[in-house]
Structure 1
Amino acid sequence: MDLTPFLNRDSKIPLYQQLIKFFKSNMHDGRIKKGMKLPSKRHLAKKLLISQTTVERAYDQLLAEGYILSKPRSGLFADYDESFLIHPDPKPAELPVQNFNGTTNEIIDFHYGHVDSSFFPLSAWRKNVVASLDKYSEKLCRPGDVLGEIELRTLITEYLYQSRGVNCEPNQIIIGSSTSYLLQMLCHILNTSLKVGFEEPGYPRSREIFELNRKEIIPLPLDSEGLKMDAVKKNIPDLIYITPSHQYPLGRIMTINRRLELLKWAADNHSFIIEDDYDGEFRHSGQPIPSLQALDKENRVIYLGTFSNSFLPTLRISYMILPRSLLKKATQITSLFKQTVSSINQFALAEFIQNGEWQKHLNRMRKLYRKKRKIILEAVKRELGDKVKIHGENSGPRILIDVYLELSEQELIQKAENHGVKVYPVSDSYKKGYAFNTMSLGFSGVSEEEIKRGIYLLNKSWDLK
């Protein structure tokens, strides 16, 4: 071990005693584990600029007390097992959750954005990772493109045109590690005192990114068709952030007429629109509506997408498509920050898409989410009845429920957690006041049986009759 004890030479405590205390403390805490080899007396003395006699006195005392042992021709080794230490304040064991069949289970977590690991194509992904290492081995040995690897950007261009009608070229795409990072980059690219029109309610993390960059946030209310245009025309923001294909968090879908009206307004006022199409791949009912970017003829839309919701959150690959007027400044900014996504992951994803595995995965997930959606809607209606109202169920792997009980938001969450279920509020999506108890139930990361059991336990926890 290459240890570095910090010795206080001004202390009245002798240096050898400070060394003894250091070794004992680290053994008690488990940082120096039984069997680890300690530095030699000569090496430690030279490193700490102290005499070898000082180190020898410390080691002799540790040997005498049984903290270390000496092995001939091998050296000194820690001989203290920290697991035998009786901790004064042991952490209480968490009680298992009992379900209605009497068996024990972990917490059922209705978090939006988790992935059901039993359906992840691990074998196909592993195969494409290995293939990409062979195929792109030379490129991995030099810095990648600051905008993102051209192989992946080209495939994203083709995929988005086919699936969402997005019109762009590969050089308009910037790859980034998250939507939050790309929004941060966009604030530098635009580099003005922006007035940002933001959906009310809207995605809180994105709103906080703008606030962190000292942008003025203008809450824009919604109606059944989407963003209210009278509020837009009254405030005339420089930039508008929206989630038109599955409004976050309410789940509404902006109508085609409202989309066209918004685009005309943006062109007339030289404003930009950020279209965050965070889960545009998953629509459960109704006719497909093209992306806002696909309808844009005046280059006013900045398009955001991610592989976190549709594939794997830990892959950390998102992308931004910029109008051509912003490309020169964007290239300058991205050159400063460099690329934040590993080239290995980019090449592996490109291989995965190129070989058709991505489309297979999406088809499986769409089928799975339709089935899970049916199960959760039936369970909510059966168990929770008229005590709740369901909405936002037409797109994405999530539903919202308004809970008609005289309980606070936190009381609903805590009661559910006491029964082994985690649900999430939407109140943090509002910049202004919020009057209803609305819970978000994401079903992408829970099994079909967990969905049924979780809704049953919500009934019990909220004491619904």
Structure 2
Amino acid sequence: MVETRIQSVHSMDYKYQQIYKNLKREILLRHFLPDQKLPSKRELAKTLNVSVNSINAAYQQLLAEGYIYAMERKGFFVEKLDAFPLSARSPETISPDLEEKSQSRKGWLSFSHMSIDRTLFPFENWLKCEHQALKMRQNMLDDDSSRYPQGIRSVRQTIARLLSITRGVKCFPEQIILGSGTQILLQILDGLIEENKVFALEEPGYQRVYRLLETLRRPVETVRLDVKGISIEAIRRINPSVVYVTPSHQFPTGIVMPISRRIQLLNWASEQADRYIIEDDYDSEFKYQTDAIPCLQGLDTYKRVIYFGTFSKSLLPGLRISYMILPEQLLRIARTRFSFLMQTCNVLTQITLQQFIDSGFYHKHIKSMRQIYETRRTRLIAAMRVQFGAAIKIYGINAGLHFLAEFDTKRSMDEILNRAAQEKLELYSLERCVLKAHYFTKKPTFIIGFANLANGSIDRAVQLLYRAIYQ
């Protein structure tokens, strides 16, 4: 019977591995009964035309994993194993609904607000900085990352200086915590805020943050916007403990919060000791026509602002370096509560980033990209106004890498999105940023990103958009 169960060995595996796999499968299928004796090593080797050593290696592996047991001078026997229920047996292939679906974007044009133009990234300068970092600090690569739970201190010093100059941030390197994304850092912050404290988010706003907070079982309320940004009156009605805002370029509307509203928000936070403001400064490097507006954190004398930033928009999303700046009272809690955490940012990427900033390459790159993106933004807006005329309204154009476009059309949002996909045009609606069902737009409104739209593609992209909306 055994001989019929184990077929000749034809596999790229070592012979003993194939024998081991076949025997294990037969045991799990209960083709071999508990306590049934297996053939001797010599007998099975002769049957399968393999060496005794191959059979012995297979038996030893089965013995180590507990599929069989040995009795001195008697041989090997099948262990008594509970049978898996039929529903628990693994299929040979994964279920179709669990397969990853990857859609080719070859030949597409993109209005994505999440993309940047990676072809303009100065890879040669980055590699030069990486080489210098390796040459000067290669000893850090074999260090346990637990030595730098907040990130390498010299890197945080460089980031603190950069933010002081470019964003008016006031902080010490000790206040900075690096992480491989805003969501990772937000999970750390969640562990610093008392349970059952209510979070308030802008409506419309950042869907990923909203869903993460819900997953963390946080009470979450949404606050409508007015022309100055998040409504202070609505905040007072809801009475949250933490308010999440994007004041320098509200996501997704593009509203820039004026100083009057910023002062109101800071004063609200100062009224109670357990109130905080999370300032997400996600694309603050890009401001057009005027100088960049200093961040909310720099105005905060009450130590109530938790500042989030990222290098995903200014450099590359794939570098996965974000940062959080904590007020001193929360930093003390973090040092006590999360001292065991490992740093999630790659050490080599950290020290390369430091070299990239300190060498002046970062400033040069941002200056160049600001000019390029401003040119694209200006050309795109002009082309859209010519193409759509009075049928379009554009909002939030003075900062960031996207703006909103509202269209006067009889077509529904879904119909436009489907037609855009047929035209190979990547397009996202404002509805993807609606956090709760009470927020609606009267006319189809889209988030128009321009960072990944080269000048030579702008007119074509606008034509495809017109076809999706009207033709």
Could you say which TM-score interval applies, normalised by the shorter chain?
0.7 to 0.9
Structure 1 window deviating more from structure 2 (41-50 vs 435-444): it is 41-50
**1:321 maps to which of 325, 329, 335:** 325
Q: Secondary structure at the match of 2:220?
A: strand
Q: What residue in structure 1 maps to residue 422 of structure 2?
A: 418
1:435 aligned partner, one-letter code:
T
Is 1:135 the counterpart of 2:143? The answer is: no
After superposition, the Cα gap between the structure-2 partners of 1:369 and 1:13, relative to the gap in structure 1 and judged at 3 Å, is farther
Q: What residue in structure 1 maps to residue 396 of structure 2?
A: 392
Is 1:273 the counterpart of 2:266? The answer is: no
| TM-score (structure 1 length as normaliser) | 0.80
Residues of 1 paired with 2:140 and 2:429: CA distance?
Answer: 45
8 Å CA contact 1:416, 1:423 repeated in 2 = yes
Q: What residue in structure 2 maps to residue 208 of structure 1?
A: 211
Is 1:113 the counterpart of 2:117? The answer is: no
8 Å CA contact 2:417, 2:468 repeated in 1 = no
Is 1:238 the counterpart of 2:241? The answer is: yes
Is 1:340 the counterpart of 2:331? The answer is: no
Q: What residue in structure 1 maps to residue 45 of structure 2?
A: 52
String of CA shifts for 1:53-111, please: whole Å, max 9, x gaps: 45449xxxxxxxxxxxxxxxxxxxxxxxxxxxxxxxxxxxx9999xxxxxxx7010211
Q: What residue in structure 2 maps to residue 350 of structure 1?
A: 354
Q: What residue in structure 2 maps to residue 152 of structure 1?
A: 155
Q: Which residues of structure 1 form unaligned runs of 5+?
A: 1-8, 24-37, 58-93, 98-104
Q: What residue in structure 2 maps to residue 310 of structure 1?
A: 314
Q: Secondary structure at the match of 2:222?
A: strand
**2:451 maps to which of 416, 426, 444:** 444
After superposition, the Cα gap between the structure-2 partners of 1:167 and 1:462, relative to the gap in structure 1 and judged at 3 Å, is same
What is the CA-CA distance between 1:227 and the residue it aligns to?
A: 1.4
Structure 1 window deviating more from structure 2 (223-232 vs 245-254): it is 223-232
**2:467 maps to which of 446, 453, 460:** 460
Q: What residue in structure 1 maps to residue 27 of structure 2?
A: none
Indicate the RMSD between aligned Cα atoms, in angstroms: 2.4
What is the CA-CA distance between 1:335 and the residue it aligns to?
A: 2.7
After superposition, the Cα gap between the structure-2 partners of 1:364 and 1:54, relative to the gap in structure 1 and judged at 3 Å, is farther
Residues of 2 paired with 1:394 and 1:13: CA distance?
Answer: 76
8 Å CA contact 1:177, 1:316 repeated in 2 = yes
After superposition, the Cα gap between the structure-2 partners of 1:47 and 1:405, relative to the gap in structure 1 and judged at 3 Å, is closer
1:366 aligned partner, one-letter code:
R
8 Å CA contact 1:41, 1:52 repeated in 2 = no
String of CA shifts for 1:174-202, please: whole Å, max 9, x gaps: 00000011111110121421101111111
What is the CA-CA distance between 1:41 and the residue it aligns to?
A: 3.8
After superposition, the Cα gap between the structure-2 partners of 1:42 and 1:159, relative to the gap in structure 1 and judged at 3 Å, is closer
What is the CA-CA distance between 1:414 and the residue it aligns to?
A: 1.0
Residues of 2 paired with 1:341 and 1:374: CA distance?
Answer: 36
Aligned pairs for 1:9-28 (under 5 A) are: 14-16=5-7
Residues of 2 paired with 1:184 and 1:422: CA distance?
Answer: 31
8 Å CA contact 1:198, 1:218 repeated in 2 = yes
**2:367 maps to which of 348, 358, 363:** 363
Q: What residue in structure 2 maps to residue 186 of structure 1?
A: 189
After superposition, the Cα gap between the structure-2 partners of 1:399 and 1:53, relative to the gap in structure 1 and judged at 3 Å, is farther
After superposition, the Cα gap between the structure-2 partners of 1:95 and 1:126, relative to the gap in structure 1 and judged at 3 Å, is closer
Structure 1 window deviating more from structure 2 (194-203 vs 426-435): it is 426-435
String of CA shifts for 1:231-267, please: whole Å, max 9, x gaps: 1112211000000000001000001010001101100
Structure 1 window deviating more from structure 2 (237-246 vs 283-292): it is 283-292
**2:174 maps to which of 171, 176, 179:** 171
8 Å CA contact 1:44, 1:55 repeated in 2 = no
Residues of 2 paired with 1:13 and 1:175: CA distance?
Answer: 60
1:223 aligned partner, one-letter code:
D
String of CA shifts for 1:300-329, please: whole Å, max 9, x gaps: 000000000111000000000000001122
Q: What residue in structure 1 maps to residue 441 of structure 2?
A: 435
What is the CA-CA distance between 1:161 and the residue it aligns to?
A: 0.6
Is 1:260 the counterpart of 2:263? The answer is: yes
After superposition, the Cα gap between the structure-2 partners of 1:95 and 1:40, relative to the gap in structure 1 and judged at 3 Å, is closer
String of CA shifts for 1:152-183, please: whole Å, max 9, x gaps: 10011001111111000000000000001111
Residues of 1 paired with 2:268 and 2:20: CA distance?
Answer: 73
After superposition, the Cα gap between the structure-2 partners of 1:44 and 1:418, relative to the gap in structure 1 and judged at 3 Å, is closer
Q: Secondary structure at the match of 1:220?
A: strand
Residues of 2 paired with 1:376 and 1:325: CA distance?
Answer: 46
Residues of 1 paired with 2:234 and 2:250: CA distance?
Answer: 17
Residues of 2 paired with 1:142 and 1:95: CA distance?
Answer: 40
Residues of 2 paired with 1:13 and 1:381: CA distance?
Answer: 77
String of CA shifts for 1:212-236, please: whole Å, max 9, x gaps: 1111111111111111111111221
What is the CA-CA distance between 1:122 and the residue it aligns to?
A: 0.7
Residues of 2 paired with 1:447 and 1:334: CA distance?
Answer: 44
Residues of 1 paired with 2:432 and 2:7: CA distance?
Answer: 56
Q: What residue in structure 1 maps to residue 89 of structure 2?
A: none
8 Å CA contact 2:117, 2:451 repeated in 1 = yes
Residues of 2 paired with 1:121 and 1:55: CA distance?
Answer: 60
8 Å CA contact 1:16, 1:54 repeated in 2 = no
Residues of 2 paired with 1:283 and 1:290: CA distance?
Answer: 11
2:111 aligned partner, one-letter code:
F
8 Å CA contact 2:409, 2:470 repeated in 1 = no
1:305 aligned partner, one-letter code:
G
Residues of 2 paired with 1:13 and 1:349: CA distance?
Answer: 62
Q: Which residues of structure 2 form unaligned runs of 5+?
A: 24-40, 51-101
After superposition, the Cα gap between the structure-2 partners of 1:45 and 1:176, relative to the gap in structure 1 and judged at 3 Å, is same
Residues of 1 paired with 2:220 and 2:400: CA distance?
Answer: 26
Is 1:297 the counterpart of 2:301? The answer is: yes
8 Å CA contact 2:200, 2:244 repeated in 1 = yes
Residues of 2 paired with 1:41 and 1:228: CA distance?
Answer: 71
Q: What residue in structure 1 maps to residue 58 of structure 2?
A: none
What is the CA-CA distance between 1:150 and the residue it aligns to?
A: 0.8
String of CA shifts for 1:272-297, please: whole Å, max 9, x gaps: 00000001111113453211000000
8 Å CA contact 1:45, 1:55 repeated in 2 = no
Q: Secondary structure at the match of 2:271?
A: helix
Q: Secondary structure at the match of 2:335?
A: helix
1:175 aligned partner, one-letter code:
L
